[in-house]
Amino acid sequence: MRTLAVLVLAATVSFAPSALSTPPAHAAAEPGAATVVPVQVTGAPAKRFNLILMGDGYTGAEQARFRADADRHLNVMWSIEPFKSYRNYINVYRVDIVSGESGISCDPGLDSPRRTTPLGMGFWGRCNPASVQRLITMDNAAATRYANLVAGTTPGNRQILALANSGTYGGAGGTYATASGSNSMSALISPHELGHSLGGLQDEYDYYQRGVPGGAYTGPEPSSAHHTLLTEQQMRDQRRKWWRWLGEPSESGGPIGRYEGGLYFTTGVWRPSAHSMMKTLGYYFDQVGREVMTQRITAKTMVIQDAAPADAPVGADRVLWVEPMRPVSHSLTTTWTVDGRELPGDRDALDLRTLDLSPGTHTVTATVSDPTGFVRDPAIRQAMTGSRTWTVDTSLTTPPDGVEPAIVSSTPADRPLGRDDVVYVETNHPAAAVPEVTWTLDGERVKGAAADLDLGGLDLGPGAHTLTAALGGRTVTWSIDAEPPATAYELSEPLAGSGHTYVYNGPFTMRLTGADDRGGHVVSESRMDGDGWFNYFGWPTSSELPWTFSEQGTVIDSLVYGKLPRGRHTIEYRSIDAAGNYGKPGSFTVTTIAPPPACTRTITRDHRGALVVADGVTCLDRAQVTGPVTVRPGASLVVTGGRITGALAASKPAAVHLLGARVQGVLTVDGAAELIIVGADLRGAALLTRNTAPILSGSTVKGALACTGNTPKPADLGVPNTTAGAGAGQCAKLAKGAEGGAYEAVQHLGQ
């Protein structure tokens, strides 16, 4: 992912107790010194939503760390809707603040040092024993003073996001948002906290303090847009809350419906989805939260940025125009009416001379609306609509203004465009002409394009492309990144694997690595069984550790991570690059089966002679057994690796597990309550009869294979067996020319 460009060095200042002063140029920056860096500027601050990132606890020597933390937080945010689509509505400024001490107060505990930092940030709500550990708050007055350094921004058009120099999980979302800078999950904390600070969304947690159930909600209908006491039918009947979204697949997984728990209560209140970002970090906003966030972002701007003056009547011999906002994902729609009659077409400029207006006065209106599918509430959609009205008097004559058509602004050209972006240019507005922009893609003229160009409609091939827009002697050139990112997955060694299908009988790990042809941070994601896409941030305790799946999950700070029920699961994976391109999802299948029973006797050495398992659970752990093995009724045998040189016979055993083991002689298992043969090498014949739900997967059978009376028939779990002998009965299909192979390495690369 690219490093966001630094456009201008706007200000370098130092806070004194009661005034601002500029440090000498030759001296090292003093504690409190601040540098304002425009990271992304898409328009004048007064016409944009301004996001101001500032750091606390980063010393002068640690400013590169703050820049890297800020870049990662931003790039993850740009991969999340609606920030992704409405990126052009946002100016981003970074305030690099020098701290005299490294880190923040009470990190991680109340007994940790108190530190003197410019923003006074601290865990435990700035070291309050009555607070909670993960709550990072700061001196809001100090944050405001630093934000005021960003010229043109005001409390009404900006949002502060402060990052703490900490690897401990934490954040807060009040008037201002905070997050730890370098925790493995910290880049997901910041959009969650912006959900609070910007969107006014509430937590959907069913607890306040982790590990302590929240109890029952007994209050009235919540004012929160995404919490309710109403049933689904009541929502529909009363047309309240999220009734418009009910039943639809959630952007964060599962259908939009009614899920109990939220507002820190376990029961008695309901939320729209199983696990949106406001419930579980890593998932997206669901449709309800996304609609609210879309409303709040767009409300910080004006849907019409500028328009032809309308304070006095105009002549019918001129061009009227509007300048709408420009999302990344789509164009706004502009419709024109004359005396209430709608004109065909969607355009930002109207040449009145083409209308042949009758003598007299006429009313012309331009209405700009946002057709986004993110919004269904008519009130919100109306707030995202703007209009301008002119009185046109045909008796008036417009004097020449001498304005020559020219480009005045555009989609930022300092970063690559995505292959599906909508690119725009803004021109000046001569009274007597509609400027015509010439678009060129890879040297070829693009026909039919106006002031914006939808790259998604051009069917761009993979790789890099060059786009230019020219008008009046000025040319703007963009690089288009149409090469999708690739994603590699790496799994811990399975019991058996073939192609993209694997079998495990216990915990396993998954590492995702996103890569792009351009440098920088790439966001990788996965989803389980068609559920919501989940950001891959490594393991909660360290981004360097892979994700661990297990049947019970892993409890970390009273939350459960990586819980995966036993059975067959499809895991999809993909990445999103800096330009916003999605890689083509890949997938693999994992089947988790019963773990072996606990050993009551373990043999790890060589064993010569017959071995009789009469009771309990005997485990052969990479042992070498020379002689026949007999398992009597009710007893269990677990063979992991190693070799049995001789026959293996089990009659009505409780369990037989052959895991990556070799059996040189005939294998006979009859009436097993649990029979699992995975990744085994059976050199003789195999007879499996009257067993319960037997598994024969990823194994090699050199002799005949016969199966009868098993309930149900043996399953290979999608990993075929390799057989050399004849197959009979229920195993006939398992033995018909199956192609299999030994597991070498589970590491695959896909788009």
**Residue tagged 């298992």 (tokens):** 669
Kindly state the helix (H) or strand (E) to which residue 186 belongs, with its residue range: helix 186-197
pLDDT at 447: 87
Which residues is 444 bridged to in the sheet? 441
pLDDT at 150: 97
pLDDT at 224: 97
Q: Please answer whether residues 480 and 466 qualify as being in contact, where contact means their C-beta atoms are separated by less than 8 angstroms.
A: yes
Which two structure tokens, joined as six digits, stand for 526?
């996965």
Kindly state the helix (H) or strand (E) to which residue 299 belongs, with its residue range: helix 287-299
Backbone torsions φ then ψ of 111, nearest 5 degrees:
-90, 0
Which residues in the chain land under pLDDT 70?
1-28, 735-751
pLDDT at 131: 95
Domains belonging to the chain, first-starting first, are: 11-197 (3.40.390.10), 203-287 (no CATH), 304-393 (2.60.40), 407-481 (2.60.40), 499-592 (2.60.40), 601-735 (no CATH)
Q: Is 621 helix (H, G, I), strand (E, B) or coil?
A: strand
392-418 burial string, b = 16+ CB within 10 Å, else e? bbbeeeeeeeeeebebebbbbbebbbb
Count other C-beta atoms under 10 Å from residue 154's C-beta.
Answer: 12
Nearest to 648 by CA among 732, 727, 675: 675
Say what the pTM is. 0.91
Give the CA distances from residue 370 to residues 295, 310, 425, 538, in Å, rounded to whole numbers and listed in that order: 11, 23, 18, 37
- Rounded CA separation 233/679 (Å): 52
Which two structure tokens, joined as six digits, stand for 488?
């590699």
DSSP state of 146: H
Which two structure tokens, joined as six digits, stand for 70?
């800020």
Kindly write down the DSSP assignment for every residue of 199-252, as one continuous string: T------SBSSTTSB--B--SSS-SSTT-BS--HHHHHHHT-TTGGGTTSBPTT
Give the CA distances from residue 368 to residues 305, 335, 365, 449, 532, in Å, rounded to whole numbers and listed in that order: 11, 7, 10, 19, 33
pLDDT at 596: 97
First CA to last CA distance, the chain = 16
- Rounded CA separation 140/172 (Å): 12
pLDDT at 748: 55
Which residues is 657 bridged to in the sheet? 638, 676
- Rounded CA separation 186/169 (Å): 7
**Residue tagged 């351009």 (tokens):** 518
In the chain, what's the furthest Cα-to-Cα distance?
115
pLDDT at 16: 33
Peptide bond into 416 cis (omega under 30): no
- Rounded CA separation 730/691 (Å): 12
Give the CA distances from residue 613 to residues 520, 607, 649, 686, 728, in Å, rounded to whole numbers and listed in that order: 58, 13, 10, 19, 29
Nearest to 299 by CA among 357, 218, 381, 236: 381
Nearest to 732 by CA among 743, 716, 717: 716
